[in-house]
Structure 1
């Protein structure tokens, strides 16, 4: 039976915002694949700098300086925000590297794993009670990693680092009383000095691609803008939808990445990798069923 709260115009707008956010995130590989001969670390530097510049204008336009000012005046909170900033930078940088080296399947697997990592971190760090289905879901994820390690002789390290960096980021982010827009702005603001220093060093060493060609320069600036746009759409969805609904929409992001990896980038999918995905998907099905029954809130995506 459909609940009335899920079919209101407000909820319809929320679904539209949610679909926009997750479709944009899912299509990120297509954008980062446009860069030619620009290393991942340089793209990351510009993503931080131009995100911050764009968010300065956005925060000013939306008159959202109050929560930002409060955060900057609380040094104790800034420690956690700095931790969030470092983790999200690692996540961003590794994701760009995965696209550049055509490991989008591993990136997709990492974001499929993230909700299960959140459950495990909640149990280990926050001492949250893990339901039976959630425990089984985590076991299936661990089994998938073990199978890949034993049969392929290597860990899917990109998947693991992406999942754990974003999982720990979410854990720290819950302890910071900032909304998505303000939080991202403060995080990029803390990384901005390091980004500017790195850019100055690249320019001094003659390694910078910024200004080298109009197309590359435009893409580097745009990398900051596209970082903020899906976040704004997600914020609009979060205000209008139940957390469980957002959780189900979240799977669109890695699903689109999975299809892009196979159909656009033509990445090979071995039987062992397929088995890994099937186990993760089975774990997500159990996790989603548990969340749908109201036994545990589904964690929101980035």
Structure 2
């Protein structure tokens, strides 16, 4: 007979795989909308994400946390910052994918865990274990090589890594549930999104409504944004953080494979060496994280 904890773990694993898998396959979705400008794509994503989140919260009779977040200045102010960070992240990512820089975008999300650690040290005053320090040093060499050999696309990777890391830091320090937080963030971005769409429509350049496929895909961008977040929230509740941390590399790995195998992006020798060093750093980091979590569990059991 399976205990409740094991059932939770079993439910968390497929949720995590689905969440990171959806994030990893986002290039395919956005490539199908390559004829839509990145700013309209992000604006439509904001509109339909908000509609879906509000609908889900209303269905669950859980609009209270969203209202509470909006009327509380101590929560609304950091959520405004996180909304701007995620807006920059979404726009950079969509532009990068549709301009043929999926590999550079994937590098940003490979770097993200290491940037998170750096922010933890600088902002939260966390201490690095020796294994983490070695992992970050190896990855830093990889980034330096990337800077020397692929300077024209390095800004994409850094912009994505920093914007998502700062987004995660703000959300970590802000006491709000994932769905309510996303609802508040998209509500904050909504005026800018609507103004841009109205301006675009008045100039005859809006893609929404141009044909059935485009319209349906733009509406679906709300679900593409919200579904992985809901799945991730489920996984975060049911899986150990060490397991969840190791699984986060599914998304950038799939993005990398999409860029190279599906869309024929070429890798320079410098990029190959750089990615190799970054992957070695990530493996060392993951092994250290897993070992640290295991030691903590053993210490707690004694």
- Matches for 1:188-207 after TM superposition, within 5 Å: 188-207=186-205
- Structure with bigger helix share is 2
- Matches for 1:222-233 after TM superposition, within 5 Å: 222-233=220-231
Q: Deviations over 1:204-236 (max 9, x none)?
A: 122111111111111111111210011111111
Offset at 1:81?
A: 0.2
Q: Deviations over 1:129-148 (max 9, x none)?
A: 12222122222222112112
Q: Is the 8 A contact 2:104 2:153 kept in 1?
A: no
Offset at 1:7?
A: 7.9
Inter-partner Cα distance in structure 1 for 2:160 and 2:179: 21
Inter-partner Cα distance in structure 2 for 1:293 and 1:273: 30
Offset at 1:9?
A: 2.1
- Matches for 1:1-302 after TM superposition, within 5 Å: 8-154=6-152, 156-294=154-292
CA 1:153/1:70 → structure 2, altered by over 3 Å: closer, same or farther?
closer
Offset at 1:34?
A: 0.3
Aligned length: 293
Q: Is the 8 A contact 2:30 2:94 kept in 1?
A: yes
Inter-partner Cα distance in structure 1 for 2:275 and 2:169: 25
Q: Deviations over 1:123-176 (max 9, x none)?
A: 112221122221222222221121122234546111110000000111111111
Q: Once superposed, what is the RMSD of the aligned Cα atoms?
A: 1.8
Q: Deviations over 1:255-280 (max 9, x none)?
A: 11111111100100112111111111
Q: TM-score, normalised by structure 1?
A: 0.93
Inter-partner Cα distance in structure 2 for 1:6 and 1:117: 35
Gaps of 5+ in 2: 295-302
Offset at 1:238?
A: 1.3
Offset at 1:54?
A: 0.9
Q: Deviations over 1:262-300 (max 9, x none)?
A: 11001001121111111111111121122112269xxxx
Inter-partner Cα distance in structure 2 for 1:6 and 1:105: 41
The ranges of structure 1 where at least 4 consecutive aligned residues each deviate by more than 4 angstroms after the TM superposition are 4-7, 152-155
Q: Is the 8 A contact 1:5 1:11 kept in 2?
A: no
Q: Deviations over 1:70-109 (max 9, x none)?
A: 2112112211000000000111111111110111101111
Q: Is the 8 A contact 1:50 1:224 kept in 2?
A: yes
